[in-house]
């Protein structure tokens, strides 16, 4: 039986159950720094950087045998390791916490662990030194929060059951005592990490290999809280954690969990791999950050240092670029909460903690922004970091607002438009006027008229139905008057294929703007406003791409797919390069031809179960 609990009933329940209310408050208090942080840096560093191969998985999947993998211990020197410079770079980037791999699935510990049969850098690698402690010390001095990654599996340990994908040491049911010894071993290591470093956060991985009962997860969690009652745990301790950890794929649908974090690589690899040059651009990384913030999450951005301890130049460049954007837009990042619904604003946004400021993340230079269904009128608006821009607010007196921008110095990545309100923002389902085509054609401002057409098509309103529009824009019978804006009329003719018998656009999350779908469902039309700062991004498209072109002028344009994992059914992110010299001054339309009728991926994104 399902019981629907309203906000009022929930409040009564908490009031009548003070213990539950106190627990809820305590959880909220301990999670506040995490919810406010928005940006963290993940560090994958281990012996796998010597050969530049996949961390642990390379031997587990039998791409290299275990002995040859472990021979990398002899090449791990950390001779150029400067933890103070690492921390300086991380802090400058705008990150508020860092998470470092204390031990990956290969079982090689970065610190001087005393656990039974442990393999460690101080004892077994050429470096012959503890490389974890100096980094944690620098983190503590910098006031950054400390996160420790810890692998539950240890594929190299004699007490662990699994060695590789095809080799097993024993079955737990046949040797429970040996498994119990392993549990004691990993818990001993967690005790060392907790007592020596007092982490703010523990980032578990690999829980998929065993059940909560086998890991003794509840006991492990209880023990960790003896060291730090406010320790934050990720969701990879068999659901005993505090927040969700989607991996690589930016969620399409905003996670329902209040607390979540996307762990994300700059290229395709977690650790250092010299031949992986598939780096995302700094522009893509900044936009990914705003995408995550708009959905109320944190971005945990990964770096993979070399075996000598130096950080690859490409990764430094991205962090430095990120630093410029975060330092400029602090108030629109830290302490913000998830933004307003896509139905109210066709883009990315965030709210201030007190709910009295709305931040709109603009990925293009344009003349105006539309917000619908705002019950609370904004009292002022400005572009953060641009004192010379002119921003004005116009209301239609039906809770819909147009923000006009002029003389604006748009950011090279994401411009932040801040709206200030006297009271906490309230919004409702938009009540937009369905305009007649004749009215739109008489609008003297072509960009606004074109926007109105795209907006109504996206919402599924057939503004051009039975209007005289033809599929190719020739011989149109659309009625013209002396007041008809010929520029709007010509735009309709040029882009007729995207307007003729097309249906409602894609739901929220797939594209940060308006769209329409062809009658046969095999072409997506993307309405691109203004001048984008980078490639147009599409998420959650399960189809293959046949070709992409600019509507009305025939140019074929390229695309690149990032974060498509071979072991996952989740689609990668499609980035479409639109040449600036081919942009339409009023609105560009991109046609994405698919290999079959459109299929959208809208699954809930949680922790990765495995990547065999």
> What is the rounded CA–CA span in Å between residue 399 and residue 427?
9
Q: Are residues 141 and 231 in the same domain?
A: yes
Model confidence, pTM: 0.93
Domain shared by 63 and 7, yes or no: no
Note whether residue 258 is domain-resident.
yes
**In-domain check, residue 425:** no
Tell whether 184 is covered by a domain.
yes
pLDDT at 534: 97
Same domain, 50 and 183: yes
Asked, for residue 432, whether it belongs to a domain, the answer is no
**Residue-wise over 6-37: b if at least 16 C-beta within 10 A, else e?**
eeeeeeeebeeeeeeeeeeeeeeebbeebbeb
Report pLDDT for 148: 98
Give 269's contacts (C-beta < 8 A, 6+ positions apart).
54, 276, 304
- Per-residue pLDDT averaged across 288-297, rounded? 97
> What total of structural domains would you count in the chain?
4
Evaluate if residue 5 carries a pLDDT over 70: no
Same domain, 44 and 170: yes
Answer whether residue 114 is part of any domain.
yes
For residue 394, tell me if it sits in a domain: yes
User: Are 69 and 177 contained in the same domain?
Assistant: yes
pLDDT band at 606 (very low <50, low <70, confident <90, very high): low
Distance from the Cα of residue 470 to its chain's centroid: 41
Same domain? 494 vs 408: no
Highest mean pLDDT, choosing among 8-17, 423-432, 447-456: 447-456
* pLDDT(383) > 80: yes
pLDDT (mean) for 563-576: 88
Q: How far is CA 354 from CA 326, 357, 421, 422, in A?
A: 21, 8, 10, 11
Residue 368, SS3 per DSSP: strand
SS3 category, 296 = coil
- Whether 435 shows a pLDDT value over 90: the answer reads no
Provide the CATH number for the domain around residue 564: 2.60.40.1180
**Cα Rg for the chain, rounded, in angstroms?**
27
User: Do strands 39-43 and 298-303 pair parallel, antiparallel, or not at all (unpaired)?
Assistant: parallel
Q: Which domain holds residue 346?
A: 337-420
CATH number of domain containing 148: 3.20.20.80
For residue 445, being part of any structural domain is answered with yes
CB–CB of 87/144 below 8 Å? yes
Same domain, 534 and 503: yes
Dist CA 319 CA 313 (whole Å): 10
User: Mean pLDDT of all residues in the chain?
Assistant: 93
Residues 156 and 277 in one domain: yes
Residue 550 has pLDDT above 50, yes or no: yes
Q: 295 with 377, same domain? A: no
Structural domain contains residue 105: yes
Query: Could you say which of 304, 328, 352 is where a domain stops?
Result: 328
Q: What percent of the chain has pLDDT over 70?
A: 95
pLDDT in tens, 31-77: 999 999 999 999 999 999 999 999 999 999 999 999 999 999 999 99
Helix (H, G, I), strand (E, B) or coil at 19: helix
Write the CA distances from 168 to 62, 165, 172, 184, 206, integer angstroms. 13, 8, 10, 20, 16
Which tens digits make up the pLDDT trace of 396-407?
Answer: 988 999 999 999
Question: Taking the mean position of all CA atoms in its chain, how far away is CA 561?
Answer: 15
Write out the H or E segment, with its range, that includes residue 371.
strand 368-371
**The CATH number of the domain where 388 resides is what?**
2.60.40
- How many whole angstroms separate alpha carbon 383 and alpha carbon 388? 9
Q: What percent of the chain has pLDDT over 90?
A: 87
Q: Does position 418 have pLDDT exceeding 50, yes or no?
A: yes
The position carrying tokens 């699935």 is: 105
CA distance 39 to 94: 7
- Same structural domain for residues 345 and 386? yes
CB atoms near residue 124 (< 10 Å): 17
> What count of other Cβ atoms lies within 10 Å of the Cβ of residue 69?
24
Instruction: Judge whether residue 16 has pLDDT over 60.
Output: no
Calpha distance 381→138 (Å, rounded): 40
Among 238-242, 298-302, 316-320, 451-455, the least confident range: 238-242
**Alpha-carbon distance 100 to 591, whole Å?**
43
The answer on pLDDT for 254 being more than 50 is: yes
pLDDT, residue 568, reads 81
- β-bridge pairing 298-303 and 261-264: parallel
- In this structure, the answer to whether residues 447 and 573 fall within a common structural domain is yes
Residue 258 CA to residue 276 CA, distance in Å, equals 34
- Residue 195 clears pLDDT 90, i.e. is over it: yes
Q: Are residues 323 and 406 in the same domain?
A: no
């Amino acid at each position: 039986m399902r019981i629907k609990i309203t906000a009022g009933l929930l409040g009564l329940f908490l009031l009548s159950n003070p213990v539950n209310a106190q627990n809820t408050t305590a959880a909220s208090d301990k999670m506040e720094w995490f919810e406010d942080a928005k940006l963290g840096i993940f560090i994958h560093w281990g012996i796998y950087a010597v050969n530049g191969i996949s961390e642990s998985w390379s031997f587990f999947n039998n791409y290299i045998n275990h002995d040859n993998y472990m021979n990398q211990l002899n090449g791990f020197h950390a001779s150029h390791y400067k933890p103070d410079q690492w921390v300086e770079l991380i802090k400058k980037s705008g990150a508020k916490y860092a998470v470092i791999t204390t031990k990956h699935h290969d079982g090689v510990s970065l610190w001087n662990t005393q656990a039974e049969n442990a393999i460690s850098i101080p004892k077994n690698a050429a470096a012959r030194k503890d490389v974890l402690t100096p980094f944690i010390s620098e983190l503590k001095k910098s006031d950054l929060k400390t996160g420790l990654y810890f692998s539950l599996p240890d594929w190299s340990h004699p007490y662990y059951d699994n060695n590789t994908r095809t080799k097993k040491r024993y079955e737990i049911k046949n040797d429970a005592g040996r498994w119990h010894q392993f549990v004691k071993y990993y818990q001993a290591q967690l005790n060392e990490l907790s007592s020596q470093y007092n982490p703010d956060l523990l980032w578990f991985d690999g829980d998929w290999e065993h059940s909560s009962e086998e890991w003794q997860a509840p006991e492990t969690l209880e023990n960790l809280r003896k060291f730090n009652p406010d320790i934050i745990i990720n969701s990879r301790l068999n659901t005993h954690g505090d927040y969700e950890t989607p991996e690589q794929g930016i969620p399409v649908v905003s996670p329902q969990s209040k607390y979540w974090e996307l762990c994300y690589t700059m290229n395709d690899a977690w650790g250092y791999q010299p031949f992986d040059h598939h780096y995302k651009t700094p522009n893509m990384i900044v936009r990914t950050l705003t995408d995550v913030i708009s959905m109320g999450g944190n971005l945990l951005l990964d770096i993979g240092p070399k075996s000598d301890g130096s950080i690859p130049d490409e990764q430094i460049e991205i962090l430095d670029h990120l630093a410029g954007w975060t330092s400029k837009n602090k108030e629109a990042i830290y302490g913000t909460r998830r933004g307003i619904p896509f139905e109210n604003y066709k883009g990315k946004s965030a709210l201030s903690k007190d709910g009295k400021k709305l931040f709109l993340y603009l990925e293009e230079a344009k003349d105006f922004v539309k917000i619908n269904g705002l019950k609370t009128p904004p009292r002022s608006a400005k572009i953060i970091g641009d004192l010379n821009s002119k921003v004005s607010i116009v209301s239609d007196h039906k809770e819909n607002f147009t923000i006009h921008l002029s003389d604006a110095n748009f950011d090279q990545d994401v411009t932040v438009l801040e709206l200030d309100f006297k009271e906490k923002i309230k919004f409702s389902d938009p009540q937009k006027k369905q305009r007649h085509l004749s009215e739109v054609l008489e609008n003297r401002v072509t960009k606004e008229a074109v926007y109105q057409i795209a907006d109504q098509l996206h919402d599924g309103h057939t503004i051009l139905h039975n209007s005289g529009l033809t599929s190719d824009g020739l011989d149109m019978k659309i009625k013209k008057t002396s007041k008809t804006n010929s520029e709007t009329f010509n735009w309709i003719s040029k882009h007729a294929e995207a307007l003729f018998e097309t249906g409602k656009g894609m739901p929220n999350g797939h594209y940060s703007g308006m769209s329409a779908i062809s009658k046969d469902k095999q072409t997506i039309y993307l309405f691109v406003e203004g001048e984008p700062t980078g490639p147009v991004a599409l998420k959650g498209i399960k189809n293959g791409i046949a070709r992409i072109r600019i509507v009305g002028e025939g140019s074929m344009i390229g695309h690149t797919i990032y974060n498509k994992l071979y072991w996952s059914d989740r689609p990668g992110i499609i980035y479409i390069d639109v040449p600036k010299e081919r942009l339409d001054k009023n609105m560009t339309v991109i046609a994405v031809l698919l290999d079959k009728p459109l299929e959208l991926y809208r699954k809930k994104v949680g922790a990765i179960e495995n990547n065999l």
